[in-house]
Amino acid sequence: MRSPRKPSVWIISGPSGVGKGTVCARLRTLRPGIYIPVSLTTREPRPGEVDGVSYHFVSEQRFQEKVESGELLEHAIVHGTHSYGTPRGEVADAIASGRDVLLEIDLQGARQVKRNLPEAQLVFIAPPSWEELVRRLTGRGTENASQVEHRLATARVELEAREEADFVIVNDRIEDTAQALIVLMGL
Ligand code: ADP
Ligand code: 5GP
């Protein structure tokens, strides 16, 4: 989908479990023209995840090769376990074809993108309350108890980083959040 205005890059960040994935999926349904790159990760696929669609699932060695050849716009070890990174080429191609780009990445990656592409806008998705964040993260059921503890510890630090963001949206109701992003992004 070609846009008459200059395409923009938006970074969606925020603590694990706040609803970033859900919001981005909703936004993609409402505005299919937006481009969300497929990240690389060294973690194992979860049931139902498809290689090349959910992520590019790669070995540690392959990931390092991509880092060394400069093929990643940003990369980080997330939640202290696995590496994740955004393919630079996918972002460049999308911008060249006039599409807005949405990056759903962690805060370490968000900071790198802001350094590399200062025009990128960082949107911090915040929970309505700490209790609701805990409820969403535990309710999702994709992490065991110790992984939840680790993610909540990271979340405490990440919540303080909302000050760095260009915009903050509280993800109370998913439809409201998606609409707020559509307005903000001028979609
Ligand atoms: P993240 O990608 O930020 O880690 P997810 O999108 O996986 O978070 O959402 C975590 C859980 O919270 C999921 O079970 C999801 O269905 C739920 N969720 C997301 N947004 C909302 C919302 N606005 N209200 C209630 N539950 C939500
Ligand atoms: P999950 O393993 O649950 O799919 O993702 C874990 C976290 O990794 C999410 O909070 C997500 O924001 C982050 N993430 C996903 N892709 C990337 C990426 O390409 N770069 C960075 N820095 N973080 C990512």
At 125-176, the pLDDT tens digits run: 999 999 999 999 998 888 889 989 998 999 999 998 899 999 999 999 999 9
Single-letter code of the amino acid located at 173: R
Closest ligand 1 atom number to CA of residue 139: 14
- pLDDT at residue number 4: 59
Closest ligand 1 atom number to CA of residue 141: 14
The average pLDDT across 23-48 equals: 95
Ligand 1 centroid to Cα of residue 22, in Å, is 6
At 107-116, the pLDDT tens digits run: 999 999 999 9
On the 0-12 / 13-18 / 19+ scale of CB atoms within 10 A, 122 is: buried
C-alpha closest to that of 113 among 42, 10, 21, 6:
10
pLDDT for residue 13 is more than 60: yes
DSSP sequence for 105-158: --HHHHHHHHHH-TT-EEEEEE-S-HHHHHHHHHHH--S-HHHHHHHHHHHHHH
Tell the residue nearest (CA) to atom 22 of ligand 2.
109
User: CB under 6 Å to ligand 1: residues?
Assistant: 16-22, 136, 139-140, 171, 173-174
For ligand 2, is residue 158 a contact (CB within 6 Å)?
Answer: no
Single-letter code of the amino acid located at 162: R
